[in-house]
Amino acid sequence: MINRNLFLTRFCNHQKIEVLKDTISLRGKILFPTKKVQTLIGKRVQVEMKGDKNTLEGKLEGADDYLNLHLMDTHEIKDGIKARSLGSVVLRGNNIIMIVPVRE
């Protein structure tokens, strides 16, 4: 069962995306945001940063308890189009607004 106020709903590219805000209770298990992000290691994610109108997309290589992220093969997405290649990027968790897994 999912408790109220645990999800923040965002609309991105005309698609409804539910973003983990605090914790999720699934079948008696509690997943904290850091543990949820750890399950995404090795997968492609899109990351929205504070003060940035563009999104970064890359393969999540690592994350720590502060949600600092290491992305490989990173691209900047501008208006839904890959604008430029950034390669290996380290993102400070304090500046991350949203992390979304990319469906492949």
User: pTM of the full predicted structure?
Assistant: 0.69
* Whole-number pLDDT of residue 32: 72
CATH architecture of 7-101: Roll (2.30)
Q: Is the pLDDT of residue 15 over 50?
A: no
E strands, the chain, where? 7-12, 15-20, 24-26, 29-31, 44-49, 55-63, 69-78, 81-91, 96-101
The domain ranges of the chain are 7-101
pLDDT of residue 7: 40
* 53-72 pLDDT, tens digit each: 889 999 999 999 999 999 99
